[in-house]
């Protein structure tokens, strides 16, 4: 399995609504992406990875099997539990075959319960 970085999630998205005095807090995010995969057959997964005081964590958003060149709408709801200071939040694609290539056409990350704003669209035609 090969992990490829797509984008860092801006703090304005994942910090929004954070309880100010809690050391441990949770948030849910809607994530959606169009990912075009080519070059090999196998499995592709969309993940969010974050670092906090308790270590590095991966959250699976969606996964799909690909049998040829195709575009996949990958989406899901992910719950993240943060402890203390958060270092980074990223979106990644995991490819099962090193010869797979990918292109991200759209990527949205939105805190659940918040209205989708123009600035929640992280990548367009990447």
Q: Is the pLDDT of residue 126 over 50?
A: no
Residue 84 — left, alpha, or beta (φ > 0 → left; ψ -120 to 50 → alpha)? Answer: left
Please report, for the domain that includes residue 52, its CATH number. 2.60.120
At 124, the pLDDT band (50, 70, 90 cuts) reads very low
d(CA 22, CA 10): 21
Check residues 19 and 24 and name the one with the higher pLDDT.
24
Q: Is the pLDDT of residue 40 over 80?
A: yes
Check residues 11 and 125 and name the one with the higher pLDDT.
11
Q: Is the pLDDT of residue 17 over 80?
A: no
- The stretch 74-78 carries a mean pLDDT of 96
Boundaries of domain holding 95: 2-124
Other Cβ atoms closer than 10 A to 27 = 20
The predicted model scores a pTM of 0.85
- Which tokens is 124 given? 């367009």
Residue 122 — left, alpha, or beta (φ > 0 → left; ψ -120 to 50 → alpha)? Answer: alpha
How many folded domains does the chain comprise?
1
Lowest mean pLDDT among 8-22, 23-37, 77-91: 8-22
At 115, the pLDDT band (50, 70, 90 cuts) reads low
48 within 8 A of 17, measured Cβ to Cβ: no
Q: Is the pLDDT of residue 15 over 70?
A: yes
Q: Is the pLDDT of residue 79 over 90?
A: yes
Q: Considering only CA atoms, which of 54, 49, 47, 48 is closest in space to residue 85?
A: 54
d(CA 55, CA 73): 30
Residue in this structure with the two tokens 């809690």, named with its chain if needed: 22
Check residues 10 and 63 and name the one with the higher pLDDT.
63
């Amino acid at each position: 399995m090969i992990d490829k970085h797509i984008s860092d999630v801006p703090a304005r998205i994942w910090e929004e609504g954070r309880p100010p005095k809690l050391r441990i807090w949770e948030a849910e995010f809607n994530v959606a992406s169009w990912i075009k995969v080519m070059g090999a057959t196998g499995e592709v997964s969309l993940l969010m990875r974050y670092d906090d005081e308790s270590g590095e964590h991966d959250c699976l958003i969606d996964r799909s099997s690909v049998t040829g060149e195709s575009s996949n709408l990958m989406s899901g709801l992910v719950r993240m539990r943060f402890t203390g200071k958060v270092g980074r939040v990223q979106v990644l694609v995991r490819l099962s075959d090193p010869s797979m290539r990918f292109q991200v056409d759209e990527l949205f990350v939105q805190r659940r319960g918040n209205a989708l704003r123009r600035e929640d669209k992280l990548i367009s035609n990447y």
